[in-house]
Amino acid sequence: MGSPTVAQKPAEPLVALTGLTPREAEARLNQIGPNEPTSTRHYSFISDLFHVFASPLVLILVIAAVVSAFLGDVVDAVIIGIIVLLSGAIDFAQTYRSQRAVEQLRDRVAPTATVLRGGEWKEIRRREVVPGDILRLSAGDLVPADARLLMASDLYVQQAALTGESLPADKHATGEPASSKADASNMVFLGKSIVSGAATAEVVATGPRTAFGDIAARLVDHAEQTAFDHGLRNFSQLLARTVLFLVLFLVIVSIARHRDPLQSLMFAVALAVGLTPEFLPMITSVTLSKGAVAMAHKKVIVKHLSSIQNLGSLDVLCSDKTGTLTAGTVSLDRSLDPFGNPSQRALELAYVNSKFETGIRSPLDEVILHQPVCKGGRLHQA
């Protein structure tokens, strides 16, 4: 608990520590790549259009339009084509605008890191950090890469995303080799936040090779199909099977009754086109776009329209561990002297230490400051 603020001894001498030269850093960046947990996928204009118009229902409508034009019903073919183009344009415009907004927001809030380059501390973008860089970390910073601590002073790191523990982890330089284990006391990991203290660390892994990068890669490896897309695909397959069955049934019946095969086929195709819901893509695109606009007014960016339905169908939201199985709070059971005996003096000294703690107070400091002995911000006489 709240021990006096005393800097730990460095795990190794830091004399003549100059970091990488700009040329060395550039060479490693070109060799290893940017410090991004996952590779950013950039889709071309053509691929985005293909994704929008690749819906099974849209393909059925396109086939219906082609068949109508082939049979001479140009008006129906033109109407179906216009509806398909309008619904696809609405979907594409909303998706493209949302993706651009996300990219601009990502560029605007790009995280940075303080590194030692050529003997000088410089602030660079996180994606430019490379293995071998020397980092300077302090309270409030986000760790830009997996790094081994060279020197640490009262360092507490919030790493719940890796370990699931809600309380900050105590970190210190030990001189031991780098480790990828989340509970390594001499390591800090990409994306985790410094709660209190200060440290100097050497980067050992960046980008996908970090502990967090492995998790992020598995999460974005295969995008799950939304419930809306799954339902629309099932409906399109049912519609296609129904139309195909009716066309074949009508043709077989007409041939059995010795009617003109060509006329029977044209009648069956006309019936199939009539059964196809031409306005359904338009209705879904307009409805989902309206939902995206409503979310935008609440400062929420919807990248894919089909995710609107998933959000609206949520009945129960489950969170892991803290706040469900545990409360995530610290409590003080008793204060003891060095011999294990109850001591009010120990609590008073702990209060003084927590009161004048530098940086951000730890959860234990907050608990000590709220003990009865410290009511009103003044020490009560024991």
CATH number of the CATH domain containing 189: 2.70.150.10
- The verdict on residue 118 lying in a domain is no
Q: Are residues 284 and 172 in the same domain?
A: no
Q: Are residues 306 and 289 in the same domain?
A: yes
Last residue of a domain, one of 189, 218, 247: 218
Last residue of a domain, one of 256, 280, 312: 312
- The verdict on residue 112 lying in a domain is no
- The verdict on residue 111 lying in a domain is no
| Long-range contacts, 106-113 (Cβ 8 Å, 24+) | 111/142, 111/144, 112/144, 113/144, 113/145
- The verdict on residue 5 lying in a domain is no
- Widest pairwise Cα distance in the chain: 110
Q: Are residues 236 and 209 in the same domain?
A: no
What is the phi-psi region of residue 379: left when phi exceeds 0, alpha when psi lies from -120 to 50, beta otherwise?
beta
| Long-range contacts, 255-260 (Cβ 8 Å, 24+) | none
Q: Are residues 134 and 208 in the same domain?
A: yes
Q: Are residues 163 and 229 in the same domain?
A: no
- Residue 22, classed as helix, strand or coil, is helix
Task: Round to whole Å and give the CA distance between 68 and 72.
Answer: 6
Q: Give the model's pLDDT for residue 106.
A: 60
Residue (of 277, 270, 263) closest to 246 by Cα position = 270
Q: Which residue type occupies 37?
A: P
CA 264 to chain centre: 55
* Rg, C-alpha atoms of the chain: 32
- The verdict on residue 53 lying in a domain is yes
- The verdict on residue 270 lying in a domain is yes
In this structure, the number of other CB atoms found within 10 A of the CB of residue 329 comes to 11
- The verdict on residue 352 lying in a domain is yes
Task: Round to whole Å and give the CA distance between 271 and 13.
Answer: 84
Structure tokens belonging to residue 1? 């608990």
- The verdict on residue 339 lying in a domain is yes
Instruction: For 165, list phi and psi in degrees, rounded to 5.
Output: -85, 130
Q: Are residues 144 and 211 in the same domain?
A: yes
Task: Round to whole Å and give the CA distance between 81 and 326.
Answer: 57
Q: Give the model's pLDDT for residue 148.
A: 92
Number of domains making up the chain = 3
Are the CB atoms for 269 and 247 separated by under 8 Å? yes
Question: Which residues of the chain register pLDDT less than 50?
Answer: 1-16, 323, 375-377, 381-382
List pLDDT tens digits, range 26-54.
Answer: 899 888 888 887 665 555 556 666 666 66
Q: Are residues 133 and 214 in the same domain?
A: yes
Q: Are strands 169-171 and 146-158 parallel, antiparallel or unpaired?
A: antiparallel
b/e map of 61-91 (b: 16 or more CB within 10 Å)? bebbbebbbeeebeebbeebbebbeebbebb
Q: Are residues 335 and 362 in the same domain?
A: yes
Q: Which residue has the tokens 């069955």?
A: 245
Residue (of 271, 270, 243) closest to 68 by Cα position = 270
Which residues sit opposite 138 in a β-bridge?
198
Q: Which residue type occupies 134?
A: I
Q: Are residues 211 and 229 in the same domain?
A: no
Q: 221 catalytic, yes or no?
A: no
CA 144 to chain centre: 16
Last residue of a domain, one of 218, 233, 249: 218
List pLDDT tens digits, range 204-262.
Answer: 988 888 888 777 666 665 556 677 777 777 877 787 788 778 778 877 887 787 777 76
List pLDDT tens digits, range 145-162.
Answer: 899 999 988 888 888 777
Which residue of the set 154, 320, 333, 365 is catalytic?
Answer: 320
The residue range of the domain holding 145 is 22-33+129-218
Q: Are residues 96 and 156 in the same domain?
A: no
Q: Are residues 139 and 213 in the same domain?
A: yes
Q: Are residues 360 and 337 in the same domain?
A: yes
Task: Round to whole Å and give the CA distance between 257 and 328.
Answer: 78
